[in-house]
């Protein structure tokens, strides 16, 4: 079974782009004096800050969550995970665990519940190997529940 978050990532990128265009449009309207301040005490700089702050909040929240594109294939032959961060210049990574050597999967949350991570374990000759955490924040609740149930079944 394959679980991926392509649709969620596309939606997040589209929202980020739309917010950037709207913020840029509003700032350009303020700078060209097309929009005047409704209050005497608010200057152009104040209006620019008011229009830019929601975009900056969304952008900071997006990168604080460190959303990854994730594709997880769980088959009898093994577990295959491909993931890459949405940070500019990030590297694509992959994990392949053969069916007999898969040990367990562990799910954790961090950053006040904003981030969800998955840690995979593999049986080796010398014990159990632990892979670095994979950020699965981009998965929706339905896919996350399906992923947890699939790993519990293994």
Give the predicted TM-score (pTM) of the model: 0.77
Q: CA 130, 136, 137: angle at the middle one, nearest 5?
A: 140
The residue that leads in pLDDT, 102 or 43, is 102
Quote the pLDDT of residue 96. Answer: 94
> Cα(125)–Cα(28) distance, rounded to whole angstroms?
63
pLDDT tens for each residue of 44-94: 788 888 888 988 898 888 888 888 899 999 988 889 999 998 888 889 999
Please give the residue range of the domain that contains residue 10. 1-154
Residue 6 has pLDDT above 80, yes or no: yes
Average pLDDT over residues 134-142: 90
For the chain, how many structural domains are there in total? 1
Over residues 98-122, the mean pLDDT reads: 90
To the nearest 10 degrees (0 to 180), the angle between helices 44-65 and 6-31 is 170
């Amino acid at each position: 079974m394959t679980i991926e978050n392509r649709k969620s990532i596309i939606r997040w990128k589209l929202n980020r782009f739309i917010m950037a265009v709207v913020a840029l449009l509003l700032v350009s309207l303020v700078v060209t004096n097309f929009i005047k301040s409704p209050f005497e005490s608010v200057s152009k700089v104040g209006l620019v800050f008011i229009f830019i702050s929601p975009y900056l909040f969304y952008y900071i929240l997006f990168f604080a969550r460190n959303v990854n594109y994730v594709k997880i294939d769980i088959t009898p032959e093994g577990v295959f995970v491909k993931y890459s961060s949405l940070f500019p210049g990030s590297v694509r990574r992959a994990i392949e665990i053969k069916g007999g050597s898969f040990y367990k999967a562990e799910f954790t949350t961090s950053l006040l519940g904003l981030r969800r991570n998955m840690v995979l374990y593999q049986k080796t000759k010398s014990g159990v190997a632990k892979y670095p955490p994979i950020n699965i924040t981009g998965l929706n609740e339905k896919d996350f529940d399906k992923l947890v149930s699939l790993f519990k079944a293994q």
